[in-house]
């Protein structure tokens, strides 16, 4: 690993493009802490910042052969973190509007046609987010939540280990919490 520590960012990028996972590990170890600090200053939620960085490095690996850097690795990583934070802010704004609208519905306490339509739209939104989960994760989540099967029952039914099922359910809940926002998430899950 010390050999990789001596390589320049350009050399690491070349190795990454050729599929060398140790190059990604070195890029991660060089930049993770500063990217975390940079993101945390702008969005002080540890789990979400960790998720953003995890998604960034996963994206870097998955798209290693298509990435063309003109300004260098640090500039690319900082820009990617900034863009992901801006996307997260936009999603939070939309979720905030949903939460505000839901709160108005609760405050009114009336069961009007408009409110029923709005509630249906919210449920459709939640269903779309569940449907956007990866297929196996969605299946496990639906078996857990809709059919009320235990992790062991799901594992037996699908031929998986209970640990895998537990991990998939946790991951699904984490993804939904991020996509739906804490207030809506707590109402339904």
Query: Taking a C-beta distance cutoff of 8 angstroms, is the pair 21, 28 a contact?
Result: no
Q: What is the pTM of this model?
A: 0.50
Domain extent at residue 41: 2-87
Q: Is 77 helix (H, G, I), strand (E, B) or coil?
A: helix
Q: Is residue 93 part of a domain?
A: no
Residues 104-155: tens digit of each pLDDT: 666 665 556 666 777 787 778 778 888 888 999 889 988 888 888 888 999 9
For residue 46, how far is the Cα from the chain centroid? 13
Please count the residues of the chain.
189
pLDDT of amino acid 163: 93
The candidate with the shortest Cα–Cα distance to 167, out of 184, 175, 61, 59, is: 175
Q: Is residue 166 part of a domain?
A: yes
What are the angstrom distances between the C-alpha of 120 and each of 9, 11, 117, 126?
Answer: 50, 53, 5, 10
Residue 42: CA count within 13 A, CB half-sphere? 17
34/73 Cα distance (integer angstroms): 13
The candidate with the shortest Cα–Cα distance to 40, out of 59, 30, 53, is: 53
Location of structure tokens 């989960």:
133
148/136 Cα distance (integer angstroms): 17
Residue 161's domain is classified under what CATH number? 1.10.10
What is the C-alpha R_g of the chain?
21
Residues 19-66: tens digit of each pLDDT: 999 999 999 999 999 999 999 998 888 998 999 999 999 999 999 989
Q: Is residue 182 part of a domain?
A: yes
| Two structure tokens written together for 30 | 């060089």
Location of structure tokens 């993101």:
39
Last residue of a domain, which of 34, 56, 87? 87
Q: Is residue 99 part of a domain?
A: no
pLDDT exceeds 60 at position 182: no
Last residue of a domain, which of 52, 70, 87? 87
Last residue of a domain, which of 72, 87, 102? 87
Domain count, the chain: 2
Question: SS in 3 state form for 12-31?
Answer: HHHHHHCCCHHHHHHHHHHH
């Amino acid at each position: 690993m010390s050999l990789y520590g001596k390589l320049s960012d350009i050399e690491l990028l070349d190795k990454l493009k050729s599929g060398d996972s140790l190059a990604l590990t070195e890029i991660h170890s060089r930049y993770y802490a500063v990217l975390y600090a940079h993101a945390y200053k702008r969005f002080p939620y540890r789990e979400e910042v960790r998720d953003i960085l995890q998604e960034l490095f996963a994206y870097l690996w998955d798209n290693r052969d298509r990435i063309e850097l003109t300004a260098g690795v640090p500039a690319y990583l900082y820009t990617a973190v900034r863009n992901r934070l801006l996307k997260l802010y936009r999603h939070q704004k939309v979720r905030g509007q949903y939460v505000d609208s839901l709160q108005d519905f609760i405050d009114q306490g009336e069961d009007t046609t408009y409110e029923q339509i709005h509630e249906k739209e919210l449920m459709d939104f939640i269903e779309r987010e569940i449907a956007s989960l990866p297929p196996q994760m969605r299946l496990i989540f639906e078996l857990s939540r809709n059919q009320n099967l235990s992790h062991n029952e799901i594992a037996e039914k699908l031929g998986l280990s209970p640990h895998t099922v537990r991990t998939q359910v946790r991951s699904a809940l984490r993804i939904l919490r991020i996509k739906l926002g804490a207030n809506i998430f707590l109402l339904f899950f």
